[in-house]
Amino acid sequence: MSAGYFPKRTKVGLEDLFKNLITASHILHHHGILDAYGHISVRSPDNHATFYMPCNMAPALLSSEEHLVEYNVEDGEPVEKHAKPGYLERYIHSEIYKRFPSINSVVHSHCAAVLPYTISGVPLKAGIHMAGFLGSNVPVWDASSHYSSGSKHDLLVRDTKLGASLSAAFKPATSAGFLYSKVRSALPAQIGGAPPDPAKEPDHAVVLMRGHGFTTVAHGIEEAVYQAIYTRDAAKAQMTALMIHDAHFGHVVEGKVDIEGGGKIKSAKVKTEGDVKFLKDSEAHDAWESIRGTIERPWRLWCREVEVNPLYRNDCPGCED
């Protein structure tokens, strides 16, 4: 058993890991982050070179250890030859685990509230303190720039090449602005007993995927679930803020009128009043540093929500330290 997965826990066994992975899938469905599609995974606490994720089924319907598959980080293929069919996009997870040794959980979602920011050119930013982990620059990764010759152009991360390209987007070659790794490198030592190396930490907690959705990375299941839910909430808050800002302030077009040219406006500029105020880099950093120590609070609430909902079943036994 190894440290680094659950708040205020020094050790965790596979029984707890499986139970919480299924509970996390239920929570993400209950909160609209996953529907029949999307997935969460977790690195094995006993073998850093493998990870677990559900087999190819709707997240809400997971109920037992039999619905989980163990994969190799190196190639994204099942450890067992006769494992249940898995998700096509498991390479999102395997390549992130390969690139970032301290990352232990990954969520991939097609959440409708986030999708507009993947195609509109409007950047998603931390506008609320509960989503400080977003920082001031959430990258948008475009699969179309990385298709292999002869491959399907369906935006799906269906091989290691596309997975590696996506994973690289979590740490772009920049030192400007809020860096997620500044906070993450301060977290306790993870599996293997060595402190995290800032050079191998992601600079971003979330990467958007053009026309597809988003992926978030974390040191544990609870943190990954928290980030996925509050990415959705931040996107909703920003969308509403932009709409009421435009409705209230409106737009004024300024420029010179070309009468002979039919009344066209030359050198036009759109002038607006007011500003949508986002978190400063320092505010995003400090907000996340404050919030990340309280994640156990919403996690316990979310667990109870799905526990009492008859849609969800979790037959995995837990264990105590």
Q: What is the DSSP letter of 51?
A: E
Angle, to 10 degrees, between the axis of helix 160-168 and the axis of helix 90-99?
A: 50
- Tell me what pLDDT residue 245 has: 86
The closest alpha carbon to 4, from 52, 48, 36, belongs to: 48
Structural domains in the chain (count): 1
Is residue 257 included in any domain, yes or no? no
Tokens of residue 65, six digits: 């250890």
Q: Residue 147: which domain range?
A: 14-249+280-307
Is residue 264 included in any domain, yes or no? no
One of 89, 95, 201, 223 is an active-site residue; which one?
Answer: 89
Is residue 9 included in any domain, yes or no? no
Can 89 be counted among the known catalytic residues?
Answer: yes
Is residue 269 included in any domain, yes or no? no
Is residue 90 included in any domain, yes or no? yes
- Tell me what pLDDT residue 183 has: 67
Angle, to 10 degrees, between the axis of helix 296-307 and the axis of helix 221-249?
A: 100
- Residue 187 sits in a domain whose CATH number is 3.40.225.10
- Tell me what pLDDT residue 252 has: 62
Say if residues 131 and 69 touch (Cβ distance below 8 Å). Answer: no
Average predicted confidence (pLDDT) for the chain:
87
What's this model's pTM, rounded to 2 decimal places? 0.87
Instruction: Label residue 185 by pLDDT band (50, 70, 90).
Output: low
pLDDT tens-digit readout, 254-266: 666 665 666 566 6
Radius of gyration for the alpha carbons in the chain, expressed in angstroms and rounded? 21
Is residue 315 included in any domain, yes or no? no
Cα 46 from Cα 225, distance rounded (Å):
22
Residue 106 has pLDDT above 50, yes or no: yes
**63: CB partners within 8 A, 6+ apart:** 22, 312, 313, 314, 315
